[in-house]
């Protein structure tokens, strides 16, 4: 039991006083955590047994059921209160140290929280956050909370602006997600492949990621240039597929693709045309050297260096200034509705076409951006997986040895 194992340059004892448990219990963590969970599994004894919703996934192809599921879950999240955290749990606080995804755990546990967004602290309910600022501040300054890992600097800044962090500011660390550079590069540069990726399960993800803007942008590009393809891997309505079926080079991928097939898709792509990508998509685009053309919204604001690792477009006409966080979060759902209205989306298409044309016309710029993207996830890069894992060991290791 006292043997040493070595991983990513760090020595860890196989014998631990506590098990590393992932919280919320029995729930599947987002796919962006795959490399983190793999790392935890190799270095610690972990408690992670997400429920397999086999019945749901067996019927998820039924659009009515799928839409109903997401509507119900949205209502449930908004109705949850912090008091629900005090319910009795089977997992022992004495035997488990918690790594929490974007959510405060029950008060009896020692924990580290990995924070995507401040409203995650109250189940994505800003009004609930306003009511419970003092409670949240007390939880985060308590001895039970060992560290607050923020996905981006913007998350860290928002936390400090919203909650009284004066007693625990030293606990706040920016630990971004990371990846490993893929050595796979395309050889055929005569054809440029654009890529759009959103959730296959979530029925509204295509719109909320800016799918209509991306489609209409490609339509304009296809009229002007030959040798273009656009791969759209998304949960997209049949009527849209029918409407755009005659656009040259447009390929819809509406079914689930296994990991190796998804990697093949990324390896064959040149430009990420997703107006609002998530952090997992940004990480993947770095691994394969795919510069994005996207809005300067959300994680893009922190991750993309305009004109160096991608091309950014002003999003302020959709999403109000984040200087007033309360206004922003209270109106964010309403703002997202714009992305479902074609007449509104068309207003942004000319700018997306203009930016995309920069990379179509000048392959040297495209190649340079691709290299800059991949450098970010190489060993010395800002988003190096080895660097992230070393930070995790430093933060978690002292509490479960």
Q: List, edge to edge, every strand of the sheet that includes 96-101.
A: 46-47, 19-23, 96-101, 111-115, 145-150, 172-174
What dihedral angle (degrees, nearest 10) is formed by the CA atoms of 236, 242, 248, 251? 30
Is 184 inside any structural domain? no
Place of tokens 């007390």: 138
Closest CA to 303 of 180, 176, 117: 176
80 found inside a domain: yes
pLDDT at 69 over 90: no
Specify whether 271 is located in the same domain as 314: yes
Instruction: State mean pLDDT over 32-61.
Output: 79
Tell me the β-bridge partners of 250: 230
Q: Is the pLDDT of residue 279 over 90?
A: yes
Q: For residue 155, which of 103, 111, 114, 116 has the smallest C-alpha distance?
A: 116
Q: Residue 341 above 90 pLDDT? A: yes
Q: Measured between alpha carbons, how far is 393 from 271 in angstroms, rounded to an integer? A: 34
CA 292 – CA 304 distance, rounded (Å): 8
Please indicate, yes or no, if residue 186 is contained in any of the structural domains: no
Which residue, among 211, 208, 200, has the nearest Cα to 254 in the 3D structure?
200
Q: How many domains does the chain divide into?
A: 2
Q: Is 53 in the same domain as 17?
A: yes
Q: Is 204 found in the same domain as 172?
A: no
41 vs 2, residue with greater confidence: 41
**Buried/exposed 123-149: b ≥16 CB within 10 Å, e otherwise:** bbbbebbeebeeebbebbbeebbbbbb
The CATH number for 338's domain is: 3.40.50.2000
**Confidence bin at 86 (pLDDT 50/70/90):** very low
User: Who wins on pLDDT, 271 or 189?
Assistant: 271
Report residue 173's pLDDT band, with 50, 70 and 90 as the boundaries: very high
Q: What is the mean pLDDT of the chain?
A: 87
Per-residue pLDDT at 262 exceeds 80: yes
Instruction: Please tell me what DSSP assigns to residue 33.
Output: G
Q: Which domain holds residue 388?
A: 4-178+384-400
Q: What is the CATH number of the domain that holds 8?
A: 3.40.50
Inform me whether the pLDDT recorded for 325 exceeds 90.
Answer: no
Is the domain of 8 the same as that of 37?
yes
Among 149-153, 162-166, 327-331, 354-358, the range scoring the smallest mean pLDDT is 327-331
Contact between 21 and 91 under an 8 Å Cβ cutoff? The reply is yes
pLDDT given at position 267: 93
């Amino acid at each position: 039991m006292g043997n040493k194992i070595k991983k990513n340059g760090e020595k860890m004892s196989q014998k631990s006083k506590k098990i590393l448990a992932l919280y919320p219990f029995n729930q599947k963590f987002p796919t962006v955590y795959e490399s983190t969970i793999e790392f935890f599994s190799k270095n610690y004894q972990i408690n992670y047994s997400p429920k397999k919703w086999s019945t749901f996934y067996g019927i998820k192809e039924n659009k009515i059921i799928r839409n109903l599921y997401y509507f119900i879950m949205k209502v449930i999240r908004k109705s949850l209160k912090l008091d629900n955290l005090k319910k009795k749990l089977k997992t022992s606080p004495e035997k488990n140290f918690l790594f929490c995804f974007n959510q405060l755990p029950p008060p009896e546990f020692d924990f580290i929280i990995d924070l995507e967004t401040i409203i995650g602290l109250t189940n994505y309910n800003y009004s609930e956050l306003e009511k419970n600022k003092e409670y949240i501040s007390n939880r985060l300054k308590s001895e039970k909370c060992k560290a607050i890992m923020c996905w981006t600097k913007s998350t860290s800044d928002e936390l400090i602006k919203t909650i009284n962090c004066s007693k625990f500011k030293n606990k706040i660390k920016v630990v971004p997600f990371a990846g490993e550079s893929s050595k796979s590069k395309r050889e055929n540069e005569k054809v440029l492949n654009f890529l759009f990726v959103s959730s296959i399960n979530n029925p509204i993800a295509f719109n909320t990621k800016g799918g209509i803007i991306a489609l209409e942008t490609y339509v304009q590009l296809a009229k002007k240039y030959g040798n273009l393809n656009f791969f759209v891997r998304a949960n997209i309505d049949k009527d849209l597929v029918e409407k755009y079926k005659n656009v040259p080079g447009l390929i819809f991928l509406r079914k689930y693709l296994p990991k190796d097939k998804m990697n093949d898709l990324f390896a064959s792509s040149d430009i990420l045309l997703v107006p609002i990508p998530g952090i997992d998509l940004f990480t993947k685009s770095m691994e394969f050297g795919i510069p994005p053309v996207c809005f300067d919204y959300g994680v893009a604001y922190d991750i993309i260096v305009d004109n160096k690792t991608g091309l950014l477009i002003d999003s302020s006409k959709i999403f109000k200034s984040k200087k007033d966080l309360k206004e922003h979060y209270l109106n964010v759902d309403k703002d997202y509705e714009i992305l479902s209205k074609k007449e509104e989306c068309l207003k942004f298409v000319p700018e997306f076409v203009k930016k995309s044309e920069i990379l179509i016309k000048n392959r040297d710029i495209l190649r340079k951006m691709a290299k800059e993207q991949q450098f970010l996830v190489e060993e010395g890069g800002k988003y190096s997986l080895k660097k992230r894992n070393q930070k995790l060991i430093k933060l978690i290791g002292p509490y479960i040895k």
